[in-house]
Structure 1
Amino acid sequence: MTKPLPPFAYGFRRFATRAILPAVLLLPAVQAQTPPAPPAGVAEVTAVEGITEYRLDNGLRVLLAPDQSKPTTTVNMTYLVGSRQENYGETGMAHLLEHMMFKGTQTQRNALGEFSRRGLQANGSTWTDRTNYFASFAANDDNLDWYLRWQADAMVNSRIAREDLDSEMTVVRNEMESGENNPFRVLMSKMMAAAYQWHNYGKTTIGARSDVEGVDIDRLRAFYRTYYQPDNAVLIVAGHFDPARTLATIASAFGPLPRPTRALPRLYTVEPVQDGERAVTLRRTGGAPLLGAMYHIPQGGHPDSAAMELLSGIMGDAPSGRLYKALVESKLASDTFGFTFDMYDPGVAMFGAQLPPGPIQDATRDLLLTTLESARTEPITAEELERARTKWLKDWDQAYSDPQRVGVSLSESIAQGDWRLFFLERDRVRGVKLADVQRVAESYLLQSNRTLGSYVPTETPQRAPLPQPVDLAAALKGYRGDPDFAQGEAFDPTPANIDARTRRTTLKLDNGPVELALLPKQTRGKVVNARLILHFGDADSLRGQRDVAYATAALLDRGTASMTRQQIEDRFDALHASVGFGGSATDVGVSISTTRDNLGPAVELALDVLRNASFPDDQLDEFRRGELTAIENDRQEPVAVARRALARNGNPWPADDLRYVPTFDEKVAITKSLKRDDLVAFHRRFYGAGNISFVAVGDFDAQAVQQSLARGLQGWRQAPAYTRVDDPYRPIPPKRFDLSLPDKANAYYSATQPVQMQDTAPDFPAAYLANYLLGGSETSRLWTRVREREGLSYNVRSALSVSSFLPVGNWTIYAIYAPSNRARLETAVNEEIQRALRDGFTADEVKDGVASLLNLRRLARAQDRTVVRTWSDYIELKRSFAYSAELDRKFGALTAGQVNEALRKYLKPGSFSTAVAGTFKE
């Protein structure tokens, strides 16, 4: 399974093509249990739990995973090439090819533009053992056929031209530099380099700057011709599609490609067992200190992999993990983590801690290592194992119930050796014994197998065993997986059908009504998503309570009068429920994702937490440390610094008003002053019944969930009357902020102007489309000029955001870029704005933009979580999806004249306030 890095690991999210939401053309339901007979030149290989593998004569492997419960299709092409296959001077080549694939073939010169026009949510990524390209779109025969044929064309006909490489080079550099801004990511890459002495896993996927910048175009083409071939690829189609028709299209598109005559290079480097601890120290400006410990582990297909997965949770999870209890609860760290990199060859497990600002203490480092390497003296317990197993299996179930996540997960298993590892790993996790976890802890979490600290001579070193090759064919012979798996219904996500299938009603209780929007339907895995919102208070009653309200919501699930934080989390895990609590100054929300039989109990448990939160002192102290650490990180983060400067510009509200934006220093002072008594008083005064909404979409019993709501809310006091706190339009004099930060390889540009508009305004659709054409898509003016033509930014966008409640909003343009390109980037942005205002958008641009935007909106309505969030908003706005349908109609009727008129009416370059943040040389 794909595992997330800890929250502080992420800077900018890397993408090859940004998500664009596509068109819907529903297909008839297909039974996954009866795979179609393959056409000529295609052979069926095996099937597991509704996923069938085929093989073409040219060696291409195909996995079909039909799921009629959601009208979206995901296509994932995985090439078995990553940084592991790169030779001397070729680091970063696999990733560079990922970029070059989108530069086009002789017959398709603008793949990104066609994705945008068709509304494909497309992406690409490169890792150690694979490169994959995937696209999701609302089920549509034309889009599916086109994308499959584009993949076949790109597989052997991509141009890989010198002029395209030159134009993309600045974008790749920009991506490198954005990663350099993140201390965790840099530290992890340095630790990998130290941990691997010979194997290519020690080299980052992004590659050495000198290799990327000096790459030989002929060598890059040779790399492409070697690895981008049918016999080195696996094509996955998941979601809503006709398997027989799709298999015929695949045979037609890929069948004519010849089977390569070349032999793939044989890779034979084996990383030796590490024979002593290794150390890495990274020194950079800004951010908070980190500690990490990395250990070599077996490859992803090894039988020990499952036990190692659970061990990483036992050590690194919060709040149950051993690291959390040792370091966070003792106030030595603000966060801890643990995860594994499961790869084709032996990988690594990484553990560590985010520390509060200040020097790293020897005691902290010693406690981290002692905790990780003390399994011999403090054996793993059965309780720890079962908690980790329950959480892991919950996450697996949720991944398998989502066709889009299934494709990505299968891609990772393919990279490890075989797609069926996705299911075999689950079976192995189910069967892991306590002795297995104890054995792998004692075998691999060793001082001699660790990358951290200093070298210490050891008279009798303990060494980890060298993992032996695994016979996956024998392990998977005859494998079929679980016989029980459920498919969902074919649901039509049109506004009219969403309204028709949703029950809008009011649950009348003695202590106030609950507004309901309930949309029951059959889903894969019987999954249901829900959201409960509680509103309270007004601007006057909440004066001075902004940060107390935020902290109250953040600490709700840290303990109640009858449950500890761990007990709350364990109960939600037992219900297979992912539950999140959060809120603003005037509301608190609970998001729930679970299964049919567990929705009612999860709702009652969530209401119990809402009503009886106790805000333990130790948890408030932990929260304060985490917040202070985040503030210190933000002080040196270009995006955070620039955005805060613009948010504070022209803000008229006094410091005790909910709408005031504090400085970093003020945030520190406020956070340090938070007291438990303040949170308890706020909770007692403002939390209660009276203004509550509840939305559920998915597989559930509507009557049963209403009964759960009634039981959970019975006898609760009423919350103070709610009045929305608005921030009305006001003109803001333009101002420029040049914000200098030390030692930042990447800079951030943002410009924003106030807009007096509401989403009910007659020209709102035209203004929204104008922004989409200016900077909202991969065919927009800003993207085409700044990223594609001049290669100045990895990501450049514009955004128009307006209120649904009153005429107020803002128009924003932003970009990330190398500091040396500041002048060129700002010139390009300003010239494109002036050109749009002067010349306007053409009729063809408007036509294509409307088609793309409508496709985006259709796919958005096909996502259950999006429908839940939208219904939550519509309840407060007293709208239905008829509003969405009417907006679609208005978009479809727009003319170029209307769009250009709205652009010139609202976009005022002279009204922009601008912030640039980074390390700039005079």
Structure 2
Amino acid sequence: MTKPTRLTFALLPLLIASAWVPLAHASPDVASLSRAAVSKGAGQKVTSVEGISEYRLPNGLQVLLVPDDAKPTTTVNVTYRVGSRHEGYGETGMAHLLEHLIFKGSPRHPQVWAEFNKRGLSANGTTWYDRTNYFASFAANDDNLKWYLNWLADAMVNSFIARKDLDSEMTVVRNEMEMGENNPGRILLEKTLATMYQWHNYGKSTIGARSDVENVDIGNLKAFYQRYYQPDNATLIVSGKFDVAKVLTWVQQSFGAIPKPKRVLPPLYTLDPVQDGERSVTVRRVGGVPLLFAAYHVVPGAHPDYAAVEILSSIYGEAPSGRLHRRLTEQQLVASVFGFSQGLADPGQILLGAQLSSEQDPAKAAPAMLAEIESVAKQPITEAELARAKTKWLNEWEQGFADPEHVGVVLSEAVALGDWRLFFLIRDRVKALTLADVQRVAEQTFVASNRTLGQYVPTATPQRAPEPARVDVAAAMKDFKGQAAAATVEAFDASPANIDARTQRLALSSGMQLALLPKSTRGQAVEVQMTLRFGDEKSLANWGAVPSALAALFDKGTRNLNRQQLHDRLDELQMAWSVSAGPGRMSVQFSTRRDKLPAAIALISEMLRYPSLPADVLEEVRREALSELDTQRKEPGALLAEAMDRHGNPYPRGDVRHARTFDEVEADWKAVQVDRIKAFHQQFLGTSHAQFAAVGDLDVNATVQALEAAFGDWRSPSPYARLAEPYRTVPPTRMQLLTPDRQNAAMSVSLPLPLSDTHADYPALMLANYLLGGGGDSRLWNRIREKDGLSYSVYSSVQWNAEEPHSHWHAAANFAPQNRDKVLAAFEEEIQRARQDGFSVAEFEAGKRGLLNFRRLGRAQDGRLADAWASNLYLQRTFAVSAQVDQALERLTLSQVNEALRRYIQPDQFVLGVAGDFKSP
């Protein structure tokens, strides 16, 4: 549940429960209310900072409004200041379990998932140490926004929290635990933190102890809910496109009726004492590769010194600039390094670590890693290191603040620390950091007695980290003044017709096709998708891992820039970039800002056309790939995917369409040489058959000029022909793979379909699959996840082929190995029931609305728009095709959908596999 991801402000957990919802409450006509009356009714306005306004209702609810018309989407968050930190003895996992039960509904909203799905809400909830958060994003729509606010208010005080729901959800939560048990890194992190903290709840996993979760008392859980799920303990955040006056009215109507509670929340006062010696923990399990963590206690996220902690995690953990990369990875002691910090309400941690290949020795790597970290007094931080880390951190902060769907999430983390304005204060603190600040914090933090990793070592004169202490957030914010609010942007209409009308399609001298969609965005952001296509069936044969190695080396240096200079230049241009290799193509994605787009195009051109391809870095890339391969060899999902892909694959070894075994992939990576990479680059890469799509705040003329200069003369050196993969029947089969010591199992089902996305049955089968297993109110989800509580994740999907009639239907689930037979039986029963009885009128109508709403939401995402345009250029399509599909979905009848399911989803043709630690009866 809580695999951490480093964001601007704190670690966020994995998403816990999906969600979808409607049932609008009756309310007065907002048009009849004056704006003055709306403001008065919504409570007192407290402050405004950089375009974010805070209001407070009489019952204590804090409301943050972040209007942004850049994208036609709205995101709503409600954050409760309760997490695993607030749990008592025997209550571990209670906050997370409560998050699951909130989605089980209330008397007014008994079918939460169905309601969410019908309205096309992309919704979810997460639980972390200091807070619980519920959120939803959707295409801007007053009815959906008003309804979701009403649901949040109702869920705050009227949720069932019933024994029957607890019983059915228990298996799902256990399955979520078991998913984490399969991840060596997550287990090691859990054990490291448990060793690090003696008394504080930060040493306990948010998902809780199995014994606590399985034996939770429903009365205690309900009391926990009634204590913390109250307006005076919550912050509502609305961001994106919405009418402020309407939202203030709806907030008052929905939340304002909830009385201010009379209870007083209990104070939390437990802090761990300063650590007085090295601590260690060792985890031994089957599979995976060696990992090393070195964790150190740090100040709370609101402390002035925490900005330096964030920067130190970059100075040590980044590649290739980081100290650990230079000391460990480049010296071939480890395969890769990383670092992150957790800014929490109470003193948190910074964790630095390394992943090794199976051939590398932890006994050599660990001392070297600790020596590098704890030698900071003798090897002080440099100005260059500080400047580079600050640039990267501030770029990430700006990217997050520019995204209205992301702002609410990071504000939630700041709320959990004590004040939402800390989101801006830490930015200002990072900007103001001096070398002396960072050096002082590093020397105080990186001492042996403050470390959790290795063995205890007696020390004559032990060093101590500063005593832990809380922060007076009110005092910290007393003199804070925010920067100027971002300029307002246009309200963009994401309809297919407007997308086509606003997009300019051109071609370069080289033949590369262009689609440029200029639109104002928050922060002048631009999203780009570029696809290079090359080769044919014969010329692409027998290159093995060479294309993947080339893709991994593009950002390791060019003829004019070494590796570090290149990464510094990417940071200067505020570029987030990635590249991936596929059969006969290279796909490049990057984002930047309007004024930096021409320079970013020039840099991408230099990276793609003139990579330095250093041999020593190839060895690093090879080790990292082999290390990842070792990790996959014993994972149930990966093993099952290998077997399923190989079943019925007719292509011989060497053919680019051949499904490789793990051993073949390993052999291919070991065989890669620099001269082969150079030969591949020279033989195939060019832009004669390429597509480039950009969406966002861009100058079309300047962009075209930059593209012509960068790629206009880069013609493809060899012919291109699409790799055909005609439809073929695959023998149905059932397979079972045994993966010892894996507490989570996987099921996968595959079925080839003689269809493309231009077939007349495409809309009907798309909706049929959505109702069967693609949506949040689908048959498979409701039976296996909601009713039986057997799986944390179960779904079905169709991988549509746009070029030939050869698509694939796929279904998957994860579960505890002992539940294998129940999962298979439930899956088969639901498939058969849907085929025999068909879907109901209510399912059909709700599913149609939900699917159309999700399609609209997809067209409102700039990155997805750029990706779609690149594909459309290649297929010689426009968004008129999307409009036609929408129209076809609108015209569908229930009988067409039921008939499509029966015609194409044939259980006797399934390739079905399971993998897990299945015990003999």
TM-score (normalizing by structure 2): 0.96
Consecutive unaligned residues in structure 2, runs of 5 or more: 25-34
In the alignment, is the contact (CA less than 8 A) between 1:558 and 1:564 conserved in 2?
A: yes
Aligned to 2:872: 874
Q: What secondary structure sits across from 1:555 in the alignment? A: helix
Aligned to 2:580: 582
Q: What secondary structure sits across from 1:132 in the alignment? A: strand
What is the CA-CA distance between 1:519 and the residue it aligns to? 0.5
What is the CA-CA distance between 1:426 and the residue it aligns to? 0.3
Amino acid at match of 2:177: M
What is the CA-CA distance between 1:358 and the residue it aligns to? 4.2
In the alignment, is the contact (CA less than 8 A) between 1:773 and 1:845 conserved in 2?
A: yes
Q: What secondary structure sits across from 1:513 in the alignment? A: coil
Aligned to 1:766: 764
Aligned to 1:249: 250
Q: What secondary structure sits across from 2:341 in the alignment? A: strand
In the alignment, is the contact (CA less than 8 A) between 2:523 and 2:593 conserved in 1?
A: yes
What is the CA-CA distance between 1:531 and the residue it aligns to? 1.7
What is the CA-CA distance between 1:560 and the residue it aligns to? 1.5
Amino acid at match of 1:666: E
In the alignment, is the contact (CA less than 8 A) between 2:297 and 2:451 conserved in 1?
A: yes
What is the CA-CA distance between 1:35 and the residue it aligns to? 11
Pairing of 1:632-781 with structure 2 (within 5 A): 632-781=630-779
In the alignment, is the contact (CA less than 8 A) between 2:51 and 2:485 conserved in 1?
A: no
Aligned to 1:369: 370
What is the CA-CA distance between 1:41 and the residue it aligns to? 5.8
Aligned to 2:354: 353
Quote the Cα distance in structure 1 between the aligned partners of 2:558 and 2:525: 28
Pairing of 1:78-93 with structure 2 (within 5 A): 78-93=79-94
Pairing of 1:327-476 with structure 2 (within 5 A): 327-358=328-359, 360-476=361-477
Instruction: Name whichever of 647-656 and 465-474 sits farther off.
Output: 465-474
Q: Which runs of 4+ in 1 moved over 4 A?
A: 10-13, 18-21, 34-37
Quote the Cα distance in structure 2 between the aligned partners of 1:5 and 1:59: 31
What is the CA-CA distance between 1:361 and the residue it aligns to? 3.3
1:496 aligns with 2:497: yes
What is the CA-CA distance between 1:769 and the residue it aligns to? 0.8
1:322 aligns with 2:320: no
Pairing of 1:272-283 with structure 2 (within 5 A): 272-283=273-284
Quote the Cα distance in structure 1 between the aligned partners of 2:156 and 2:521: 35
Residues 244 and 14 (structure 1), Cα distance of their counterparts in 2 relative to 1, 3 Å cut: closer
Aligned to 1:259: 260
Q: What secondary structure sits across from 1:816 in the alignment? A: strand
Q: What secondary structure sits across from 2:262 in the alignment? A: coil
Aligned to 1:102: 103
In the alignment, is the contact (CA less than 8 A) between 2:347 and 2:470 conserved in 1?
A: no
Quote the Cα distance in structure 2 between the aligned partners of 1:270 and 1:236: 30
Deviations 1:646-703 (A, max 9, x none): 0000011010100001111111111111100000111111112322221110001111
Quote the Cα distance in structure 2 between the aligned partners of 1:96 and 1:415: 19
What is the CA-CA distance between 1:480 and the residue it aligns to? 3.2
1:202 aligns with 2:203: yes
In the alignment, is the contact (CA less than 8 A) between 1:139 and 1:241 conserved in 2?
A: yes
What is the CA-CA distance between 1:13 and the residue it aligns to? 5.0
Deviations 1:242-278 (A, max 9, x none): 1111011101111111111111011111211000010
Quote the Cα distance in structure 1 between the aligned partners of 2:553 and 2:814: 34
Identity of aligned residues (%): 52
Aligned to 2:511: 513
The alignment covers a number of residue pairs equal to 904
Quote the Cα distance in structure 1 between the aligned partners of 2:743 and 2:185: 15
Quote the Cα distance in structure 2 between the aligned partners of 1:714 and 1:122: 44
In the alignment, is the contact (CA less than 8 A) between 2:42 and 2:248 conserved in 1?
A: no
1:799 aligns with 2:800: no
Quote the Cα distance in structure 1 between the aligned partners of 2:345 and 2:465: 19
Instruction: Name whichever of 794-803 and 545-554 sits farther off.
Output: 545-554
In the alignment, is the contact (CA less than 8 A) between 1:557 and 1:581 conserved in 2?
A: no
What is the CA-CA distance between 1:362 and the residue it aligns to? 2.1
**RMSD between aligned alpha carbons?**
1.8
Amino acid at match of 2:181: E
Deviations 1:603-650 (A, max 9, x none): 011001111012101111011101111111111111111111100000
Deviations 1:106-155 (A, max 9, x none): 11111111101111010100000000000011111111111111111111
In the alignment, is the contact (CA less than 8 A) between 2:534 and 2:716 conserved in 1?
A: no
Aligned to 2:856: 858
Aligned to 1:608: 606
What is the CA-CA distance between 1:484 and the residue it aligns to? 5.2
Quote the Cα distance in structure 1 between the aligned partners of 2:728 and 2:639: 23
Instruction: Name whichever of 476-485 and 885-894 sits farther off.
Output: 476-485
Amino acid at match of 1:153: D
Q: What secondary structure sits across from 1:236 in the alignment? A: strand
Quote the Cα distance in structure 1 between the aligned partners of 2:614 and 2:566: 14
Aligned to 2:812: 814
Instruction: Name whichever of 773-782 and 74-83 sits farther off.
Output: 773-782
In the alignment, is the contact (CA less than 8 A) between 2:687 and 2:714 conserved in 1?
A: yes
In the alignment, is the contact (CA less than 8 A) between 2:517 and 2:694 conserved in 1?
A: yes
Quote the Cα distance in structure 2 between the aligned partners of 1:163 and 1:706: 61
In the alignment, is the contact (CA less than 8 A) between 2:579 and 2:586 conserved in 1?
A: yes
Q: What secondary structure sits across from 1:579 in the alignment? A: strand
Quote the Cα distance in structure 1 between the aligned partners of 2:6 and 2:826: 35
Q: What secondary structure sits across from 2:226 in the alignment? A: helix
Aligned to 2:148: 147
In the alignment, is the contact (CA less than 8 A) between 1:766 and 1:902 conserved in 2?
A: yes
What is the CA-CA distance between 1:39 and the residue it aligns to? 2.2
Quote the Cα distance in structure 1 between the aligned partners of 2:661 and 2:864: 33
Q: What secondary structure sits across from 1:850 in the alignment? A: helix
1:790 aligns with 2:788: yes
Aligned to 2:28: none
Quote the Cα distance in structure 1 between the aligned partners of 2:105 and 2:844: 24
In the alignment, is the contact (CA less than 8 A) between 2:20 and 2:115 conserved in 1?
A: no
Quote the Cα distance in structure 1 between the aligned partners of 2:12 and 2:645: 20
Q: What secondary structure sits across from 1:696 in the alignment? A: strand
Amino acid at match of 2:302: G
Deviations 1:551-575 (A, max 9, x none): 2122111112221121111101001
Quote the Cα distance in structure 1 between the aligned partners of 2:598 and 2:153: 47
Of residues 520, 533, 547, the one that matches 2:531 is: 533
Aligned to 1:551: 549
What is the CA-CA distance between 1:471 and the residue it aligns to? 2.4
Quote the Cα distance in structure 1 between the aligned partners of 2:386 and 2:713: 39
Amino acid at match of 1:709: L
Amino acid at match of 2:844: V
Residues 583 and 347 (structure 1), Cα distance of their counterparts in 2 relative to 1, 3 Å cut: same
Pairing of 1:884-903 with structure 2 (within 5 A): 884-903=882-901
Instruction: Name whichever of 836-845 and 99-108 sits farther off.
Output: 836-845
In the alignment, is the contact (CA less than 8 A) between 2:15 and 2:124 conserved in 1?
A: no
In the alignment, is the contact (CA less than 8 A) between 1:310 and 1:388 conserved in 2?
A: yes
Aligned to 1:76: 77
In the alignment, is the contact (CA less than 8 A) between 2:852 and 2:886 conserved in 1?
A: yes
In the alignment, is the contact (CA less than 8 A) between 1:294 and 1:348 conserved in 2?
A: yes
Aligned to 2:566: 568
Q: What secondary structure sits across from 1:337 in the alignment? A: strand
In the alignment, is the contact (CA less than 8 A) between 1:782 and 1:832 conserved in 2?
A: yes
Amino acid at match of 1:161: A
What is the CA-CA distance between 1:443 and the residue it aligns to? 0.2
What is the CA-CA distance between 1:735 and the residue it aligns to? 1.8
Aligned to 2:134: 133
Deviations 1:213-259 (A, max 9, x none): 00001000110111000110011001100111101110111111111
Amino acid at match of 1:834: Q
TM-score (normalizing by structure 1): 0.96
Quote the Cα distance in structure 2 between the aligned partners of 1:413 and 1:726: 51
Q: What secondary structure sits across from 1:601 in the alignment? A: helix
In the alignment, is the contact (CA less than 8 A) between 1:36 and 1:243 conserved in 2?
A: no
